[in-house]
Amino acid sequence: MKANQTKQAIVIGGSMAGLLTARVLSDYFERVTIVERDPVQDQPEARKGQPQTRHLHGLLANGLQIFSYYFPDLPAALAELDIFMGDMGETMRWYTHGGYRMNFHSGLDGVTLSRPQLEFMIRQRVLARPNVTLRDNCAIKQLLTTPDKEQVIGVMVEQRGTVTEQVRLMADFTVDCSGRGSRTPQWLKELGYDAPPESEVKVDVGYATRLYKRDPDDPRGRQWVLVTPDVVNDNCFGGAFAIENGRWIVTMGGWGGNHCPTDEAGFLEFARNLPAPDVYNIISQSEPISEIMTHKFPSSLRRHYEKLSHFPAGYLVLGDTIASFNPTYGQGMTSAAMQVRVLDQILAASPSLNKVAPAFFKKAAKVVDIPWQMVVGEDFRFATTSGVKPPGTDLINRYTAKVNRASHDDEVVGAAFLQVMNLLAPPPSLFKPRVLWRVLRYKEERETAVAAPATRQPIRQN
């Protein structure tokens, strides 16, 4: 417990960003109340308000490190449930850009479990803190402010149940973690503020996911299997992760409307047509235990709160509410965790709650810049992507395609790539001389290799 703990905080939304935010606020506030619109059961579940959690979720190494910082018993608890954790470099089976990435010891831990299970474990730990409570089945309808509208002093809540009633909850500090559908832009306008400017890049990505029975002795359960596109004309992906309770979660999809069919035969055929056979091999040999579930993701969307000159005191937004990225790169939870670290550092240093928002938005924008640039840049490899293309994207993409190809055989390049992908190093680190010359040199080796018998052709069985 830290000093000046005299106040009440409210977190809007009890998904991953909301839970992590509540964890941090519990160090600074006397009471923290998470207000969640859905009914929440004491079990792993994918709720109506976060349907994406039915789909494959990877937690990047940086995310796992931050989660473990706030919940030090998490790695042991994961191990106890026999949830697979391993060195990412050693355990990946990742086909991309025409070959499998080389395996090597990366020093980065990865974990594969279902998103509902991860959230359940985090929720248990957050709610075990004596000053945190969850009010579920409660939707925030409106912000309450001082008469001059300069400060948020609470929220109007619609408490649902046998009788629906409106309740006023007062708070010194309120954080909106209600995700992409956040109503903060409208609420700000209603209060006479500007809504944040938005950046949007349309990708038309579709996900289709199915669960399968997994043999606990299947060695593929000690890997994380990914197949991602090779070239501009190849716009589909697939992934299979071993998750808790002896299951596989398999997700496939594509960009620009190339969505995986949801009928039995079409699902299998989509897997067969992926550029490598690993996902197909798993699903064609495993018993399905769920229906095929879908999710459409129209665009990456960023709200530039850092550009607002006027914002109410005692209020903040965090997580997907600020930026919701094309999920195929697996960055959302880690971005939220990194924003939460920033909030923690600002609260630790700030003498006044009034100064939190401007400082936070400035730093959170820097956190978001990196995954945003990576995702948006990569998505512009596809001709179907539309929106504002950052300058230099085509050139960078040509280089990163080479980075990807070089990672088939070059450990140094592969390690640099994994650091960036896991949001542990900024993308310019891929241009450091040690990496750059290996990437540029790779072309010659590649040409030689192509002239030789094709050793990297995907094989159709394991």
Ligand X SMILES: Cc1cc2nc3c(=O)[nH]c(=O)nc-3n(C[C@H](O)[C@H](O)[C@H](O)COP(=O)(O)OP(=O)(O)OC[C@H]3O[C@@H](n4cnc5c(N)ncnc54)[C@H](O)[C@@H]3O)c2cc1C
User: Is 109 or 320 the residue whose CB approaches ligand X more closely?
Assistant: 320
Closest distance between ligand X and the C-beta of residue 320, in Å?
Answer: 3
Report how far residue 383's alpha carbon sits from residue 264's, in angstroms, rounded to the nearest whole number: 29
371 binds ligand X (CB under 6 A): no
User: Is 98 or 312 the residue whose CB approaches ligand X more closely?
Assistant: 312
Give the list of residues 6+ apart from residue 192 with CB closer than 8 angstroms, or none.
149
Report how far residue 454's alpha carbon sits from residue 462's, in angstroms, rounded to the nearest whole number: 18
Question: Candidates 281-289, 313-321, 362-370, 446-454 — which segment interacts with ligand X by CB under 6 A?
Answer: 313-321
Tell me the three-class secondary structure of 373-422, residue by residue: HHHHHHHCCCCCCEECCCCCHHHHHHHHHHHHHHCCCCHHHHHHHHHHHC
Closest distance between ligand X and the C-beta of residue 140, in Å?
Answer: 4
Q: Work out whether strand 247-254 and strand 236-243 pair parallel, antiparallel, or are unpaired.
A: antiparallel
Closest distance between ligand X and the C-beta of residue 249, in Å?
Answer: 10
Report how far residue 52's alpha carbon sits from residue 17's, in angstroms, rounded to the nearest whole number: 14
Dig out the tokens for 84 from the structure: 């697979």
**Closest to 449 in 3D by CA, of 406, 388, 404:** 406
Give the 3-state secondary structure of residue 99: strand
Residues facing residue 80 across a β-bridge: none
Q: Which of 99, 238, 312, 332 binds ligand X (CB under 6 A)?
A: 332
342 binds ligand X (CB under 6 A): no
Taking CB atoms within 8 Å and a gap of at least 24, the contacts of 100-106 are 100/276, 100/408, 100/456, 101/407, 101/408, 101/414, 101/417, 102/407, 102/408, 102/409, 102/410, 102/411, 102/414, 104/411, 104/414, 104/415, 106/414, 106/415, 106/418
12 binds ligand X (CB under 6 A): yes
User: Is 243 or 413 the residue whose CB approaches ligand X more closely?
Assistant: 243
Give the list of residues 6+ apart from residue 135 with CB closer than 8 angstroms, or none.
33, 34, 35, 36, 157, 159
Report how far residue 20's alpha carbon sits from residue 15's, in angstroms, rounded to the nearest whole number: 9
User: Is 261 or 458 the residue whose CB approaches ligand X more closely?
Assistant: 261
Give the list of residues 6+ apart from residue 366 with CB closer than 8 angstroms, or none.
none
Cα distances from 416 to residues 37, 111, 123, 229, in angstroms, run 41, 20, 33, 20
Dig out the tokens for 92 from the structure: 């990946």
334 binds ligand X (CB under 6 A): yes
User: Is 140 or 353 the residue whose CB approaches ligand X more closely?
Assistant: 140
320 binds ligand X (CB under 6 A): yes
Q: Which of 22, 64, 118, 139 binds ligand X (CB under 6 A)?
A: 139
Q: Which of 229, 256, 312, 330 binds ligand X (CB under 6 A)?
A: 330
Q: Which of 10, 36, 341, 371 binds ligand X (CB under 6 A)?
A: 36
327 binds ligand X (CB under 6 A): yes
Residues 176-195 that bind ligand X (CB under 6 A): 177-180
User: Is 53 or 413 the residue whose CB approaches ligand X more closely?
Assistant: 53
241 binds ligand X (CB under 6 A): no
300 binds ligand X (CB under 6 A): no
Question: Candidates 35-43, 105-113, 304-312, 358-366 — which segment interacts with ligand X by CB under 6 A?
Answer: 35-43
Cite the DSSP H helix spans in 169-252.
184-190
201 binds ligand X (CB under 6 A): no
Q: Which of 8, 9, 11, 14 binds ligand X (CB under 6 A)?
A: 14
User: Is 238 or 330 the residue whose CB approaches ligand X more closely?
Assistant: 330
**Closest to 337 in 3D by CA, of 109, 13, 9, 20:** 20
Closest distance between ligand X and the C-beta of residue 332, in Å?
Answer: 2
295 binds ligand X (CB under 6 A): yes
Q: Which of 16, 203, 353, 368 binds ligand X (CB under 6 A)?
A: 16
User: Is 33 or 106 the residue whose CB approaches ligand X more closely?
Assistant: 33
49 binds ligand X (CB under 6 A): yes
Closest distance between ligand X and the C-beta of residue 54, in Å?
Answer: 8
Dig out the tokens for 64 from the structure: 């796992």
Query: DSSP letter string over 420-454?
Result: HHTTSS-GGGGGSHHHHHHHHHHHHHHHHHHHS--
Question: Candidates 325-333, 361-369, 397-405, 454-462 — which segment interacts with ligand X by CB under 6 A?
Answer: 325-333
User: Is 16 or 279 the residue whose CB approaches ligand X more closely?
Assistant: 16
379 binds ligand X (CB under 6 A): no
288: DSSP letter: B
Closest distance between ligand X and the C-beta of residue 394, in Å?
Answer: 27
CA dihedral 150, 152, 155, 156 (to 10 degrees): -10
User: Is 178 or 286 the residue whose CB approaches ligand X more closely?
Assistant: 178
Q: Which of 31, 55, 363, 381 binds ligand X (CB under 6 A)?
A: 55
Q: Which residues bind ligand X (CB under 6 A)?
A: 12-18, 35-38, 47, 49-50, 52, 55, 57-58, 139-140, 177-180, 207, 295, 297, 319-321, 327, 330-334, 336
